[in-house]
Amino acid sequence: MQVVKKFPDFSFEESFWRQGIGTVVGVDEVGRGSLAGPVVAGAVFIKTPASKEAILKLGIDDSKRLSAGKRRALAKIIPKYFNSAIGQASVEEIDTLGIVRATGRAMRRAIIRIMNSELGIMNGKSYFIIIDGYKMKHLPGGLRRQLNIIKGDQKSVSIAAASIMAKVYRDRLMANLSKQFPVYKWGRNKGYGTKLHIKALGKYGCCVLHRSVFRLPVPFGFE
């Protein structure tokens, strides 16, 4: 029997809309497992629920399940239907705080940015935050106004859209940084621990954009 791929939908968002909560912010991160570069978070919310049927036809999905070309194409379309913001935490913050706390900082920055800049959400408007796999401290509204959803980027369109915006932003950033450090091929591997990246680390060592928390011994034979 052929398995039909299930795309994210608006089930979570609709449950909050029915409660009179007008703004549901989806949040996701990318780059947590990378050996180099910042961790980046995206935050989005739909401009008007009336456009949800048109959005569902776009094929928005978890960024990891899409080709690079499809992600880039969707990243151009998503702003037509969603307000969005990006937050990031630097390599220095990752090394100082650890990857979990730094990821939280990137998410908070994205959330606060979208709340401050888009429609004055923080100014008395009703909102809720849905996050892929996290519960975040130190957010406006605290834990009462957020829901962490395991594999949320495969269930919620808003979280999936946030993952796409964050992924495309970070991929472009790593491609640009690769021009400064071409031996690591970040334009291809985006800083992740591919065989070629590990081999380059064995030959050239780390640079200032590698995360110290991941500076593991290089196996013999990589030279």
Is 29 annotated to bind a ligand? Reply is yes
Instruction: Dig out the tokens for 144 from the structure.
Output: 């009462």
What angle (nearest 5°) sits at the alpha carbon of residue 41, between those of residues 38 and 46? 155
How many whole angstroms separate alpha carbon 80 and alpha carbon 42?
16
How many whole angstroms separate alpha carbon 50 and alpha carbon 192?
39
| Amino acid occupying residue 175 | A
Is 9 annotated to bind a ligand? Reply is no
Report the Cα–Cα distance between both ends of the chain, in Å, rounded.
48
Is 61 annotated to bind a ligand? Reply is no
How many whole angstroms separate alpha carbon 140 and alpha carbon 128?
10
Alpha helix locations (H) across 64-145?
A: 68-81, 91-97, 99-117
The answer to whether 39 and 30 have CB atoms below 8 angstroms apart is yes
CA 12 to each of CA 154, 158, 190: distance values in angstroms, whole numbers, following the listed order: 12, 9, 31
Annotated binding site for a divalent metal cation: 28-29, 132
Annotated binding site: 28-29, 132
